[in-house]
Amino acid sequence: MHAIRIHGHGGIETLQWEELPQPQPKAGELRVRVEAAGVNFLDIYQRTGLYALTLPAILGQEIAGIVEAVGPGVAGFKVGERIATARALGGYAEETIVPAAQALAVPAGVTSQQAAALMLQGMTAHYLACSTFPLKAGDTAVVHAAAGGVGLLLVQIAKRRGARVIATAGTADKAMLARQAGADETILYREEDFSAAVKRLTDGKGADVVYDAVGKDTFEGSLNSLRPRGLMVSYGNASGPVAPFPALLLGQKGSLFLTRPTLNHYTLTRAELEGRAQDLFQWVADGSLNLRIGATFPLAQAAEAQRALQARETTGKILLLP
C-alpha cells in the first residue's frame, strides 16, 4: 500500500510518498481501507515538530473508510462496515489501523467524505459550543477563523443553541461564508481592530466567550474582547503558539477565565464519543448542519493540501482521497 510518511520534522518537503507493507491489526484494532482523510492544522504541527512524533511516522488521524480486517478481541465491528475516527494510526495512507474503541459506525445517510470531515473539526465544534462554554440564548460568542473547517460548523452549532455570533474573517468572501452559516455580525480583522469592533457591537460590554484557533496573533485582542469574567477558549495555534504571560494579566483584564481544551479530554468515555458523533451525523443527515468540503486532493498531493491550509487559502474542510 502507499502512504505519506515523514522521516524528520520540517517543511512540506518532508512529506514523502512511499510504498509500505500492508498493516496488520493487533488485539483491539481494525484495518481500514481509507476512503477519505482529513487535513488539519494538527498534522502540520506534527510535521513541523511543534507536536513531536516518533519518527518515521505517517501523518493524519481523521479518516473514514471500510473495515478490511478485525483484530482479536474486537466486538461490534465487521468486515465491510463503514467507520470513521479521529484516532487513526496514520491516516495519510491507502490503509490504516484504527483502535476499535475509537471507531464509530457511519450511518447510511452520511457519506464517507462527510464522516471524515466531521471527526476532528465537527467533534471540536460540538464540544466547544456544547461543553467548554455551553452556549444558550442571550450569550454572545466571538468565533475566529469563522470560514475555516471548525469555524463554519461552530457558527452553526452556536446559532442552533441560540447564541449571538460575531465572526471574524480575513476577506470579504470568507465573511460572506460566515454570514451564510448564520453569523449575526462579521469583522474583517485585516481592516479594523477586532477587539474594538466587538466592544462596539456589544455596547461596550464585551463577549461572553471567544473561541480562538489562531493563537499568537489574536490572543491579546481576544482577551480584550471579553466581558468581565468572560471565557477565553484557545484551541489552536494557526499563527503560532501563544507566548508565556503572567497570570496577573487575566485579573487586570476583568478576572477572565482561560482554557486550552483538546478533543481527547472531551471524549473520555465511549458514551461521550458516541453522543457527540450521533448529534453530528443526525444534523448532517437531516440537512440542519451544512458541511462545506472546500477542497479535495489526491493522497499523493498531501504536501499541496497542507501548503494551501497553512497559507489560509481554503475554506471549510480539506480532504485527501486515496
Averaged pLDDT score across all residues of the chain: 96
What's the CATH number where 166 sits? 3.40.50.720
Domain boundary among 246, 264, 282: 264
What gap in Å lies between CA 138 and CA 286, rounded to an integer? 26
Percent of the chain with pLDDT strictly greater than 70: 100
Largest Cα separation within the chain, whole Å, is: 61
Residues 4-32: tens digit of each pLDDT? 999 999 999 999 999 999 999 999 999 99
Among 26, 25, 20, CA closest to 5:
20
In a domain, residue 270? The reply is: no
> Cis link prior to 56 (omega < 30° from 0)?
yes
What pLDDT is recorded for position 31?
98
Does residue 6 lie in a domain region? Answer: yes
214-260, pLDDT tens digit by residue? 999 999 999 999 999 999 999 998 888 899 999 999 999 999 999 99
* Mean pLDDT of the 39-59 span: 92
Residues in the chain: 322
Q: Does 302 share its domain with 226? A: no
Q: Does the pLDDT of residue 196 top 90, yes or no?
A: yes
Whether residue 149 lies inside any domain: the answer is: yes
Distance CA 88, CA 60 (A): 7
Q: Are residues 147 and 247 in the same domain?
A: yes
Q: For helices 41-48 and 302-310, give the axis angle rounded to 10 degrees.
A: 100
284 assigned to some structural domain? no
What is the model's pLDDT at position 94? 98
What CATH number does residue 297 fall under?
3.90.180.10
Say if residue 164 is in the same domain as residue 208. Answer: yes
Looking at the fold, whether 196 and 312 belong to one and the same domain comes out as no
Query: Distance between CA 217 and CA 168 in Å, rounded?
Result: 13
Does 129 lie in the same domain as 260?
A: yes
144 and 241 assigned to the same domain: yes
Per-residue confidence (pLDDT) for residue 112, from 0 to 100: 97
What pLDDT score was predicted for residue 52?
83
Last residue of a domain, one of 216, 245, 264: 264
Average pLDDT over residues 35-64: 94
Grid cell of 242 as nine digits = 501563544
Burial class (CB in 10 A: 0-12, 13-18, 19+), 248: exposed
Q: If DSSP states are collapsed to H, E and C, what string results for 266-322?
A: HCCCHHHHHHHHHHHHHHHHCCCCCCCEEEEEEHHHHHHHHHHHHCCCCCEEEEEEC
- What's residue 51's pLDDT? 86
- Can you read off the three cell numbers belonging to residue 211? 473561541
pTM given for the model: 0.93
CA distances from 291 to 56, 66, 318 (A): 33, 21, 11
Look at residue 312 in the predicted model and tell me its pLDDT: 82
Query: How many domains does the chain divide into?
Result: 2
Phi, psi angles (nearest 5°) of residue 174:
-70, -35
Same-domain pairing of 49 and 13: yes
- Same domain for 128 and 255, yes or no, is yes
Are residues 112 and 204 located together in one domain of the fold?
A: no
Residue 3 has pLDDT above 90, yes or no: yes
Asked if residue 302 belongs to a domain, the reply is yes
What range does the domain containing 310 cover?
A: 2-119+292-321
- Per DSSP, 187 falls in state E
Residue 180 has pLDDT above 90, yes or no: yes
Q: Give yes or no: residues 206 and 128 share one domain.
A: yes
C-alpha cell at 147: 470560514
pLDDT band at 59 (very low <50, low <70, confident <90, very high): very high
Q: What's the pLDDT tens digit per position in 277-307? A: 999 999 999 999 999 998 999 999 999 999 9
44 three-state secondary structure: helix
Residue 215 lies in a domain: yes
Rounded to whole angstroms, the Cα distance separating 290 from 6 reads: 34
Q: Is 313 a residue whose pLDDT tops 90?
A: no
Instruction: Determine the Cα–Cα distance for residues 139 and 277; give it in Å rounded to an integer.
Output: 25
Whole-number percent of the chain with pLDDT over 90: 92
| Domain presence at residue 180 | yes
For 72-127, what is each residue's pLDDT tens digit?
999 999 999 999 999 999 999 999 999 999 999 999 999 999 999 999 999 999 99
Inside any domain, residue 30: yes
Contact between 308 and 299 (Cβ < 8 Å): no
Clarify whether residues 147 and 104 are in a common domain: no
Q: Are residues 149 and 260 in the same domain?
A: yes
